[in-house]
Amino acid sequence: MVIALSIVAGLASASIYILIALSFNILLAASGVFNFVQASIIMSGTILAYWMTVAWDLPLLACLAAALAVGGLAGAVTEFAAVTPIARRATDKVEIVLLTTLGISLAVDAVVALLFGADPRHVPSYVSEDPISIAGLPVRPLYLLMIAISLVTVGVLMTVVARTSLGRTFRITLEDPDGAALLGINVRRVVRWAFVMAGALAGMAGVLIAPIASASAFTSLPFVFASFAAMAIGGFGSVTGTLVGGGLVGLISGLSAGLLQPAWTGPVLLAILVVVLLLKPAGLLGAPGLFGAARSREV
């Protein structure tokens, strides 16, 4: 019973890790940089969920719509203010963008802590807390909701990328940005849309984790660490690797918390991450090069 419940909780966590890790991988593929502002966008999603459900009594759909809009806008602003100017002026943009986005993220978190407070605030569940019996297991409806929304989101995203003209433009730009520019594709616009898409995913993830993690200026850090571990284990630059890595990390987190103690989750993930990267630095399904550069943008 304990193992089965831990697996269900792990799958719910995995659905969130996949969303966040996918947002990181989209940015790595599009621009070759790792964006720490994603953590602040996730945090903003939890605070939006708090205000919209507790203060304004709005439904989940309104929370998700607001988080998508705010996250997408934050992604666009980040690209415009912290990535494009550096890409134009610096040759070692990866290191500079890492520091710049880290600085922005720390500043945003500090301001939010001053205005909103650092203490976590409870966000009520979007659905009933009464367990649903599935094969004799009492499952929280919130877990099923998280898994369903994440699956639908990933499915829609993959369909758009694989079967629409926008998706084809996106894939061409990621595969060969110089060639895409010769074909008349506005590479900068594609990169900006990648930041918007990644920001929207991060905002949605923040709304979904709010009832579990509560809302505060620092609530996103454990999820960002687990999602980075999922991306690294699955493979930099690989969408399939992101799905595999997110599932593995979610199951590991659920089982370690259920069979051991929640405090063991971080050390167990870190140990597995180190072992995987020592044996296969690109991750299980990743491409060689910095952040999977051989499959995405050269960095």
Q: Cβ–Cβ contacts within 10 Å for residue 61, how many?
A: 9
> What pLDDT sits at residue 214?
92
Architecture (CATH level 2) of domain 2-279: Orthogonal Bundle (1.10)
Closest CA to 202 of 32, 3, 18: 18
Cα–Cα distance for residue pair 104/25, rounded to 1 Å: 20
Domain spans, the chain = 2-279
Tens of pLDDT along the chain (299 residues) come to 678 888 888 999 999 999 999 999 888 877 777 889 999 999 999 999 999 999 899 999 999 999 999 999 999 999 988 887 776 665 566 677 888 898 999 999 999 999 988 889 999 999 999 999 887 888 999 999 999 999 999 999 888 888 888 788 887 877 777 778 888 888 888 889 999 999 999 999 999 999 999 999 989 988 999 999 999 899 877 788 889 999 999 999 988 877 777 778 888 888 999 999 898 888 888 766 544 545 544 43
**Which pLDDT score, from 0 to 100, does residue 298 have?**
41
Question: What distance in Å separates the CA atoms of residue 63 and residue 50, rounded to the nearest whole number?
Answer: 9
